Amino acid sequence: LAGGSLVRKNVPPYVKAAREPLSFAGVNTIGLRRRGFDNNTIQQIEDVYRMIYVHNNNISQALKAADAEIPNSEHKSKILDFIRSSDKGIIRGPLQ
């Protein structure tokens, strides 16, 4: 999160958030590498967020697409479960 940010919506796992209003600023690949995530895992995490933030889907469409098109993994499940259980919704994409 960028300094001085006001957080009104939930920030999903593994992402960077910045600007006002707070919005998606990419996957935190540097942090993931520091924590020992391999390139394939990082790519899969990026693919999930691409479905959510880049493909112009609404959240329910994005969740269905990610479920159908991205192989199952612990990290995919963590992201999708977080979004489904979010009571405030998640931060917006960069151009929304």
The mean of the pLDDT values for the chain is: 91
Q: What is the CATH number of the domain that holds 35?
A: 1.20.1180.10
- Strand (E) positions, the chain? 15-18, 23-27
Number of domains forming the structure of the chain = 1
- Measure the CA–CA gap between 96 and 92, rounded to whole angstroms: 6
Which residue range forms the structural domain that includes residue 69? 15-84
* Residue 43 belongs to a domain: yes
Q: What is the mean pLDDT of the segment spanning 84-94?
A: 92
Residues 6+ apart with CB under 8 A from 15: 24, 25, 26, 27, 28, 49, 91
Q: pLDDT of 21-48, one tens digit each?
A: 889 999 999 999 999 999 999 999 999 9
- Measure the CA–CA gap between 63 and 90, rounded to whole angstroms: 13
* Residue 6 belongs to a domain: no
- Measure the CA–CA gap between 18 and 34, rounded to whole angstroms: 21
* Residue 42 belongs to a domain: yes
* Residue 3 belongs to a domain: no
